[in-house]
Amino acid sequence: MRNILAHIPQKQKKSFASELKSIWLAPDDKVARERANALMAKYESRYPQAIKLSLI
């Protein structure tokens, strides 16, 4: 997670980390995929490197 957050500005780290954590804590795969897709759609254009790392 540190590698991913290294590519996020300080002002956005808390909300990004919270959304990322919600993916990992999702109750099932379907919910996790929905949350991951929402995160990608929201941040991909602003922080492409962080999104790329989160998909590895």
* pTM score of the predicted model: 0.78
Angstrom distances, CA of residue 24 to CA of 1, 45, 52: 11, 22, 16
What is the per-residue pLDDT across 7-56, written as a single tens digit (0 to 9) for each? 999 999 999 999 999 999 999 999 999 999 999 999 999 999 988 887 65
Q: Number of structural domains, the chain?
A: 1
Q: Which domain holds residue 30?
A: 2-54
CB 12 within 8 A of CB 4: no
Q: What residue type is 11 in one-letter code?
A: K
Angstrom distances, CA of residue 45 to CA of 24, 28, 29: 22, 27, 25
Q: Which residues contact 17 (CB under 8 A, 6 or more apart)?
A: 1, 5
Question: Tell me, what's the pLDDT at 56?
Answer: 56
